[in-house]
Structures are given as C-alpha cells and as structure tokens.
Amino acid sequence: MPNRRWVEVAVGGFMLIGLIALLFLAFKVSGLSFDQRSQGFVVEAYFRDIGGLKPRAKVTLAGVVVGRVQRIELDEEWFEAKVTLQLEDGLEGKLSRDTAAAIQTAGLLGDNYISLSPGSDEALLMSGDTLWETQSALILEQLINQFIGNSARE
C-alpha cells in the first residue's frame, strides 16, 4: 500500500507541473506578463482606419517584437484612430522622430499588428511623441469592392 500512495503523489505532482507549464505557455503566447518592472515608453500614432487592430497587438521593428498596442481611441477633433504604443525602454532616444508606422496583417487571415520603419531625421523619438508617418490598414473587403466596381464599369 505505501508504494501505491507514492505513485499517486508522483502522478499528482507531475500533473501539477504540467498545469503550471501550460499556464506559463498560455501567458507567453497571449503576450500577457506578471513582470511589471519595465513599462517602456509611450508614443502615439494616428490612423484613418485601423481595420481589425486590437489593444495588446504586437509592434514590430525589422520583424522583431518591440512593444504592444496599449490603447485605441477616437480622436474627436480629427475623427481618426489614436493608437497609443508602448515600446521597450531600450528604444527611447534611438529611433528618429520620422519613424513610420504601418498596420500590417500576419498572413492572409492573420491578426493585425503595427510595423515600424526607422526614418532618417536627426531628432530622436522620446516618450510622449507622436508618429506622423502612418499607413492605415489594408482592408480586404474594400479591395474586393473596388475590384468589382471597376470590373462592372468596363
């Protein structure tokens, strides 16, 4: 009997380790974190159309994730989407102010994310600055409607 009890405890421990590993993987994949030490620095960008962009979407530079979309709201003065980006601390003061931000899609049906392209201006991007060079999301439905409309006119 003591041997059977040992097997049950070992199986229970193994299951507990497996559940903890699964929880850790879920947090890694979703981009959530318990680590709140480094908040990064915040910049804003304005887009005419954000498509399916959501808060917590990735922000990439040369294909490497360097931040997340913190907040999306409507700018009531210009009626554009105001997107707040939270970037890694190490980038503050290293990117130029004319850095461009474009909304991209991961694959044909993938999630939207923001891709940054460094500029060449000597002025550097600091916390609280605004990215003015932006490219809105390419929306597949609008392209199809334009194609059908152009085909019908010919």
64 and 24 within one domain: no
52 with 123, same domain: the answer is: yes
Number of domains in the chain: 2
Over residues 124-128, the mean pLDDT reads: 92
Indicate if 121 and 81 belong to the same structural domain.
Answer: yes
Its domain, for residue 8, covers 1-36
Q: Is the pLDDT of residue 152 over 90?
A: no
Vertex 67, ends 19 and 131: CA angle to 5°? 160
> Rounded mean pLDDT of the chain?
88
Whether 61 and 3 map to the same domain: the answer is no
Contact 137, 52 (CB under 8 A): yes
CB 67 within 8 A of CB 122: no
* Statement to judge: residues 45 and 26 lie in one domain: no
Examine the domain organization and report whether 7 and 63 are in the same domain: no
Query: What are 50's two structure tokens?
Result: 């954000």
CB-CB contact of 103 with 136 (8 Å): yes
Is there a domain that residue 152 lies in?
no
* Domain identity same for 18 and 50: no
The answer to whether residue 151 is domain-embedded is no
The structure's pTM equals 0.73
Q: Are residues 73 and 98 in the same domain?
A: yes
Does residue 3 belong to any structural domain of this protein?
yes
pLDDT tens for 6-54 read 999 999 999 999 999 999 888 877 766 665 555 789 999 999 999 889 9
Mean pLDDT across 90-115: 90
**Whether residues 90 and 117 fall in one domain:** yes
- 28 falls within a domain: yes
